[in-house]
Protein backbone atom coordinates (compact mmCIF):
# COMPACT_ATOMS: atom_id res chain seq x y z
CA UNK A 1 0.00 0.00 0.00
CA UNK A 2 1.80 3.13 -1.21
CA UNK A 3 -0.78 5.79 -0.17
CA UNK A 4 -0.59 7.13 3.33
CA UNK A 5 -3.61 6.21 5.48
CA UNK A 6 -5.12 8.95 7.64
CA UNK A 7 -6.74 7.88 10.84
CA UNK A 8 -8.83 9.90 13.27
CA UNK A 9 -5.88 10.51 15.57
CA UNK A 10 -3.95 12.06 12.69
CA UNK A 11 -6.41 15.01 12.63
CA UNK A 12 -5.75 17.17 15.71
CA UNK A 13 -8.54 18.55 17.87
CA UNK A 14 -7.74 22.17 17.03
CA UNK A 15 -8.06 21.35 13.33
CA UNK A 16 -11.50 19.86 14.02
CA UNK A 17 -12.47 23.05 15.83
CA UNK A 18 -11.32 25.27 12.95
CA UNK A 19 -13.04 23.06 10.39
CA UNK A 20 -16.32 23.24 12.32
CA UNK A 21 -15.97 27.01 12.70
CA UNK A 22 -15.34 27.50 8.99
CA UNK A 23 -18.27 25.24 8.12
CA UNK A 24 -20.54 27.22 10.48
CA UNK A 25 -19.40 30.55 9.02
CA UNK A 26 -19.93 29.21 5.50
CA UNK A 27 -23.53 28.24 6.35
CA UNK A 28 -24.14 31.61 8.04
CA UNK A 29 -22.78 33.36 4.95
CA UNK A 30 -25.38 31.65 2.77
CA UNK A 31 -28.14 32.50 5.25
CA UNK A 32 -27.11 36.18 5.12
CA UNK A 33 -26.84 36.10 1.32
CA UNK A 34 -30.35 34.65 0.95
CA UNK A 35 -31.79 37.14 3.46
CA UNK A 36 -30.29 40.02 1.48
CA UNK A 37 -31.68 38.67 -1.81
CA UNK A 38 -35.14 38.19 -0.25
CA UNK A 39 -34.98 41.71 1.20
CA UNK A 40 -34.08 43.14 -2.20
CA UNK A 41 -37.26 41.67 -3.67
CA UNK A 42 -39.38 42.52 -0.58
CA UNK A 43 -38.61 46.25 -0.59
CA UNK A 44 -41.52 48.04 -2.28
CA UNK A 45 -39.88 51.46 -2.05
CA UNK A 46 -36.99 50.44 -4.33
CA UNK A 47 -37.43 50.74 -8.10
CA UNK A 48 -36.95 47.82 -10.43
CA UNK A 49 -33.64 49.16 -11.71
CA UNK A 50 -32.34 49.58 -8.18
CA UNK A 51 -33.38 46.00 -7.36
CA UNK A 52 -31.64 44.75 -10.48
CA UNK A 53 -28.50 46.73 -9.62
CA UNK A 54 -28.33 45.42 -6.06
CA UNK A 55 -29.00 41.88 -7.25
CA UNK A 56 -26.23 42.03 -9.87
CA UNK A 57 -23.89 43.57 -7.29
CA UNK A 58 -24.59 40.80 -4.76
CA UNK A 59 -24.23 38.05 -7.37
CA UNK A 60 -21.10 39.28 -9.15
CA UNK A 61 -19.28 40.44 -6.01
CA UNK A 62 -21.07 38.52 -3.25
CA UNK A 63 -18.91 39.43 -0.24
CA UNK A 64 -18.60 43.09 -1.10
CA UNK A 65 -22.20 43.34 -2.36
CA UNK A 66 -23.74 41.81 0.76
CA UNK A 67 -21.62 43.86 3.15
CA UNK A 68 -22.34 47.11 1.31
CA UNK A 69 -26.07 46.25 1.22
CA UNK A 70 -26.13 45.49 4.95
CA UNK A 71 -24.33 48.75 5.72
CA UNK A 72 -26.42 50.88 3.35
CA UNK A 73 -29.87 49.33 3.78
CA UNK A 74 -29.54 46.95 6.73
CA UNK A 75 -31.33 49.23 9.18
CA UNK A 76 -34.64 48.78 7.38
CA UNK A 77 -34.24 45.05 6.72
CA UNK A 78 -35.63 44.23 10.16
CA UNK A 79 -38.48 46.70 9.77
CA UNK A 80 -39.53 45.16 6.47
CA UNK A 81 -39.35 41.68 7.96
CA UNK A 82 -41.48 42.72 10.94
CA UNK A 83 -44.03 44.38 8.63
CA UNK A 84 -44.27 41.21 6.56
CA UNK A 85 -44.65 39.06 9.70
CA UNK A 86 -47.45 41.33 10.95
CA UNK A 87 -49.21 41.19 7.58
CA UNK A 88 -48.99 37.39 7.59
CA UNK A 89 -50.31 37.25 11.16
CA UNK A 90 -53.23 39.55 10.30
CA UNK A 91 -54.08 37.44 7.25
CA UNK A 92 -53.91 34.30 9.38
CA UNK A 93 -56.11 35.85 12.08
CA UNK A 94 -58.64 36.99 9.46
CA UNK A 95 -58.72 33.48 8.02
CA UNK A 96 -59.27 31.97 11.47
CA UNK A 97 -62.05 34.48 12.23
CA UNK A 98 -63.68 33.71 8.90
CA UNK A 99 -63.46 29.96 9.44
CA UNK A 100 -64.72 30.15 13.02
CA UNK A 101 -67.32 32.88 12.80
CA UNK A 102 -68.71 32.58 9.31
CA UNK A 103 -70.56 35.75 8.35
CA UNK A 104 -69.65 37.78 11.40
CA UNK A 105 -73.21 38.20 12.69
CA UNK A 106 -73.74 38.02 16.46
CA UNK A 107 -74.17 34.63 18.08
CA UNK A 108 -76.93 33.52 20.42
CA UNK A 109 -74.61 34.14 23.36
CA UNK A 110 -74.13 37.76 22.28
CA UNK A 111 -77.90 38.18 21.93
CA UNK A 112 -78.52 36.72 25.38
CA UNK A 113 -75.89 38.98 26.91
CA UNK A 114 -77.54 42.03 25.31
CA UNK A 115 -80.94 40.91 26.55
CA UNK A 116 -79.54 40.52 30.07
CA UNK A 117 -78.10 44.03 29.94
CA UNK A 118 -81.42 45.45 28.74
CA UNK A 119 -83.28 43.64 31.55
CA UNK A 120 -80.72 44.80 34.13
CA UNK A 121 -81.27 48.41 33.04
CA UNK A 122 -85.02 47.91 33.50
CA UNK A 123 -85.93 48.57 29.87
CA UNK A 124 -87.82 45.27 29.55
CA UNK A 125 -89.78 43.21 32.04
CA UNK A 126 -88.93 39.69 33.14
CA UNK A 127 -91.73 38.31 30.98
CA UNK A 128 -90.46 40.14 27.87
CA UNK A 129 -86.95 38.89 28.66
CA UNK A 130 -88.23 35.29 28.94
CA UNK A 131 -90.06 35.47 25.58
CA UNK A 132 -87.08 37.10 23.81
CA UNK A 133 -84.76 34.48 25.29
CA UNK A 134 -87.00 31.69 23.99
CA UNK A 135 -86.95 33.25 20.52
CA UNK A 136 -83.15 33.48 20.56
CA UNK A 137 -82.72 29.91 21.79
CA UNK A 138 -85.15 28.47 19.24
CA UNK A 139 -83.34 30.26 16.42
CA UNK A 140 -86.00 32.85 15.59
CA UNK A 141 -84.30 35.72 17.35
CA UNK A 142 -82.13 38.64 16.22
CA UNK A 143 -79.21 36.40 15.17
CA UNK A 144 -81.22 35.03 12.27
CA UNK A 145 -81.30 37.11 9.10
CA UNK A 146 -84.49 39.12 9.10
CA UNK A 147 -85.36 37.99 12.60
CA UNK A 148 -86.33 40.46 15.28
CA UNK A 149 -87.83 40.54 18.72
CA UNK A 150 -90.50 43.01 17.64
CA UNK A 151 -93.16 40.30 17.80
CA UNK A 152 -92.44 39.47 21.44
CA UNK A 153 -95.12 41.67 22.94
CA UNK A 154 -98.46 40.07 23.82
CA UNK A 155 -101.87 40.82 22.33
Q: DSSP letters of 83-148?
A: HHHHHHHHHHHHHHHHHHHTT-PPPHHHHHHHHHHHHHHTSS-HHHHHHHHHHHHHT-STTSTT--
Helix axes 108-121, 126-138, angle to 10 degrees: 180
In the chain, the percentage of residues whose pLDDT exceeds 90 is: 32
d(CA 6, CA 74): 45
- 28-38 pLDDT, tens digit per residue, is 999 999 999 99
Residue 145 has pLDDT above 60, yes or no: no
pTM over 0.85: no
Residue scoring higher pLDDT (147 or 140) = 140
Q: How many CB atoms lie within 10 A of CB 142?
A: 20
Residue-level pLDDT at 52: 93
Amino acid sequence: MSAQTYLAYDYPLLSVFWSMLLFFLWIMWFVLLFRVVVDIFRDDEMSGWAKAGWLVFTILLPFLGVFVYVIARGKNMGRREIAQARAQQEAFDAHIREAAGGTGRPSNIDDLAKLSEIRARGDITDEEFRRAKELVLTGHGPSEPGGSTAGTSGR
